[in-house]
Structure 1
Amino acid sequence: MRRIGYLALLAWPALVAAGELEAEWSHAWPLSVEEPAAAYRLELTPEIYRTLHSPSLADLQVVDARGQAVPTLIQPAPAPASTERLQRAPWFPLPPLPLDDARWELIGETDAEGRLRRIETRGGGSSDAREAGAALVDLSAIQRPVTALDLSWDDAAAPLDSLYRVEASDDLETWRGVLRQGRLLDITHDGERLVRRRLELGEVSARYLRLRPLPGHSAVVLAGIQAVTRQSGPVAKPSWESLEGVRAEGGEFHYRMASRLPVSLADVTSDTPYAARWRLESREAPDAAWQARTSAWTGYHLVERNGELRSPPQPLLGTHRDRHWRLLADSPRSGPAPTLRLGYTPERVVFLAEGEAPWRLVAGSARARRQQAAVAPMLDSLRRRQGEGWEPASAHLGERQTLAGEAALTPPRDWTLWLLWSVLVAGTLLVGGLAIRLLRRGNEA
């Protein structure tokens, strides 16, 4: 009997946590994982967005098998990964800077597309141009912005430690600085070698670059130059939510969004051809002031012999999750309200594998809030340990389970005001009773 009592005491916290989940959260989804991992991720679905109540998505939490909250974080969709490409760039040695009493001229011959075919220098002394360490780089055949230059030199040039300046031009006449100083390094010690061959430029779009060592720094006898460009991966296509509206007056139409979607795009569609000038506004509460979400844009849906012609989606001024939306036309419009399409990129939930599996995702509450946890620093630590390409393992949603349902979306009743009034009334009655007793004693005396 005593053992049963101990078991009941041990199980009591789990029973309490389970009861709180059933009372405070609207719905839950069981989570399945394929392999053990330190952290997991999953993409938010339209069903989860429809369940959420808080504009900040604070009513979303991952819990373990006992109902205890585990560290949970909501992240925007990751940016497309970019790949680095090195491309050989034609280059030409330049002579050293002229002395005060010498003249120096640069004569370049280009083809019809602007590529350098020949370069000739006049003046500036008779020293070998390659030993000056300066170079003119032809980027006219490279279509993407150049983010860096990779330089190569003979291993016999070590040791070297030099600072270089980089300038850009489109006509070989006017030059602008793109890198004030960049260090080139090639040193050895105790059998170890430290080499730095790259000059970081940010993003430069120019036909030509000019490299020179800073005054007082040794020149590097270059053997080759490669231009570094970056190419982003495919951008995820946005998801869309279509809203049917009602006419308020003239060219004003109202819409309501039931989900907490991170809206960043807007589009207006109609069953019939149209052309109009639109503005879009939104607000969270029905009595709040309208806030502009786009600048004015021209939307259209036209029919041609070869097919339809539609205006592109309009980017919003930021990301918004408001419930109420208003579409305004510059002039009154007849007919039914057009369809408002709101575009978004789904976010993802990342949680740490704490507690007892299996885990569940709970969402939708006007009473409970997600517990704050330092998830991001832990993910950074894991990424440093596993490598830059590391990602949390995938988790998968199961069938939705109803907990408290709509009752969880009702804010808890605030008894504070009633309690204050009760204390005030009780105090008034107490003072009144004391006053009556004093009056009676006075009369008896």
Structure 2
Amino acid sequence: MRREWRACLLIVGLGVFTARADTPPSFAVAYSLDARPGAKAYVVELPQDAYAWASIDAGLGDVVVVDAHDRQVAAGLYVPATPTAHPTTLDAPLLAVPPSAGGVAGARIQRSTNGDILIEPGAAAVAGAPSDWLFDARQPVAAERLEFAPFDRDADLRIDIDASSDLQDWMPLVRGATVVTLGKGDGAVDARVVKLQGAPARYYRVHVARGEAPWVAGATPKVTLSGTVEDAAAKDEAPHRWLELSAANTTQSGQGVDYDYRLPAALPVTALRAKLGNGDAVARFDAIAIEGAMTGRQLGTLVVTSQGGDGRPLEVARARREVLRLHSATPLREPPHLLVEWQADRMVFLPEGDAPYRLLVGSHLGRRAAWPIADAIAALRKEGGPAWRPEPASTASVRILDGSKALDAAAAPFDWTRPLLWVVLLLGAAAVAAMAVSLLRKPKA
């Protein structure tokens, strides 16, 4: 009797697990991968249309890499290597910002098409020594040291130094630094160096908080900036791409207008621009990410003029967006165009199993296993050195597998193996109970 129970339980259990092994979760599409043999790891960039199948709620967990036998290989989202940098020292001229009367708009500061600093004096410019000076490092520099050129006369200054990447938003680096030159010869005091520390930036502002700058009017003083710059050739990041969208829907909203834009897929957005129509000269937009029927997330403000072209981009936190809205408090003659910058995700995988490999995307049930891929890539970087990178792989042909059925929870096949496993467990428990009762009823020897 006990042998029969055991045999039944073994047969049913083997049937359950065999069925589970023979019915892997379905996926929407499959991309064949072109990968050069012999590499220790590969990295592939997700194509734009893959985001139409990858579920937002899954966080790209429904993107897997399989071998020729449809078995998952160790894979995960690729984290770029820390950018390499080298020291640099450069000389830059200080550009004076004309002073203005209090309470009146001062000089207008902007960038040219190639990034040069343009300073237009304000209507209320007044006579006197400037207190603000700008200089351009020509590239993003993580500043460590700023040295002023020798002064023509004694000076005792307290200065503030700020940094910016766009001449609009400034980040404080130093407050109340002392710059002093007194006398000449052996007893002279010459302190013209300021230590700096901060994120890389291209533009710097020197504000004289106390004292009068010793530079002669009309002259162009210089500074020497020392720090580190990233190696442009060694940057490890996916390229940024731009999409231009037309308004899909226009609705009145209070005194203003809402312009809605639908992206071709839920793409990872990084920046926004707006372009006005032919009949409009200036506009101010509130950028909103639509996240539901009644919810949205404020992304920032865009100010656009016809003279300024597209205006400077509004950088936003990288996230997948499907519908974006521009709200204008004043109606426009033509719906504006929205330019969206996005950056694709990348998958890194190890060459396990047999090639060729495929990239499967989009599934209601299928998920990528929790491989320790970050540890594996860290070990390969340590072995290969700072310049090591995974071998690039590319997506070739795409084939529709189960399409939208793989994403539909209602269309997903019923997982009958789960209740069958419960039946097996209950039968096993009943068998154990029967055996225990049999042993209790057996007369003692």
Question: What TM-score bracket applies, with the shorter chain setting the length?
Answer: 0.5 to 0.7
Q: Does 1:269 align with 2:280?
A: no
Which structure is larger by alpha-carbon Rg, 1 or 2? Answer: 1
Query: Residue 281 of structure 1: which of 288, 293, 302 is its match?
Result: 288
Contact 1:77 1:346 (C-alpha < 8 Å) held by counterparts: no
Could you tell me the percent identity over the aligned residues? 22
Post-superposition offset of 1:31: 1.3
Aligned to 2:115: none
Label 1:258 to 1:309 Cα distance change in 2 as closer, same or farther (>3 A): closer
Aligned to 2:322: 323
Aligned to 2:24: 20
Post-superposition offset of 1:203: 7.5
Contact 1:366 1:412 (C-alpha < 8 Å) held by counterparts: no
Contact 1:64 1:356 (C-alpha < 8 Å) held by counterparts: yes
Structure 2 distance, partners of 1:397, 1:358, is 12
SS in 2 for 1:365: coil
Contact 1:168 1:177 (C-alpha < 8 Å) held by counterparts: yes
SS in 1 for 2:72: coil
Structural mapping, 1:34-183, within 5 Å: 34-55=36-57, 56-75=59-78, 81-85=83-87, 146-147=143-144, 170-172=179-181, 178=195
Label 1:272 to 1:360 Cα distance change in 2 as closer, same or farther (>3 A): same
Q: Does 1:251 align with 2:250?
A: no
Structure 1 distance, partners of 2:205, 2:332, is 49
Post-superposition offset of 1:277: 0.2
Q: Does 1:299 align with 2:301?
A: no
Label 1:338 to 1:382 Cα distance change in 2 as closer, same or farther (>3 A): same
Structure 2 distance, partners of 1:276, 1:141, is 29
Label 1:142 to 1:350 Cα distance change in 2 as closer, same or farther (>3 A): closer
Query: Residue 30 of structure 1: which of 32, 47, 65 is its match?
Result: 32
Post-superposition offset of 1:272: 1.7
Contact 1:28 1:402 (C-alpha < 8 Å) held by counterparts: yes
Contact 1:41 1:395 (C-alpha < 8 Å) held by counterparts: yes
Structural mapping, 1:311-350, within 5 Å: 311-316=311-316, 318-335=317-334, 337-350=335-348
Letter in 1 for 2:386: E
Structure 2 distance, partners of 1:13, 1:393, is 37
Aligned to 2:309: 309
Label 1:258 to 1:229 Cα distance change in 2 as closer, same or farther (>3 A): closer
Aligned to 1:230: 229
Label 1:265 to 1:77 Cα distance change in 2 as closer, same or farther (>3 A): farther
Aligned to 2:125: none
Aligned to 1:377: 375
| TM-score (norm. length: structure 2) | 0.55
Post-superposition offset of 1:52: 1.6
Contact 2:405 2:411 (C-alpha < 8 Å) held by counterparts: no
| 1:291-326 alpha-carbon deviations (Å, 9 max, x no partner) | 1012x2212334xxxxx833122112x122132322
Label 1:87 to 1:253 Cα distance change in 2 as closer, same or farther (>3 A): closer
Letter in 1 for 2:368: R
Aligned to 2:404: 406
Contact 1:241 1:342 (C-alpha < 8 Å) held by counterparts: yes
Post-superposition offset of 1:393: 1.2
Contact 1:17 1:67 (C-alpha < 8 Å) held by counterparts: no
Q: Does 1:391 align with 2:389?
A: yes
Aligned to 1:193: none
Post-superposition offset of 1:14: 11
**Aligned residues: CA RMSD:** 4.1
Contact 1:281 1:325 (C-alpha < 8 Å) held by counterparts: yes
Residues paired across the two proteins, number = 290
Post-superposition offset of 1:271: 4.3
Post-superposition offset of 1:327: 1.2
Post-superposition offset of 1:20: 2.7
Q: Does 1:363 align with 2:334?
A: no
Structure 2 distance, partners of 1:170, 1:206, is 15
Structure 1 distance, partners of 2:18, 2:42, is 23
Structure 2 distance, partners of 1:354, 1:58, is 19
Post-superposition offset of 1:82: 4.3
Contact 1:148 1:202 (C-alpha < 8 Å) held by counterparts: no
Structure 2 distance, partners of 1:168, 1:238, is 39
Gap runs ≥5 in structure 1: 1-11, 90-111, 114-139, 150-166, 180-200, 208-225, 303-307, 417-445
Structure 2 distance, partners of 1:74, 1:297, is 32
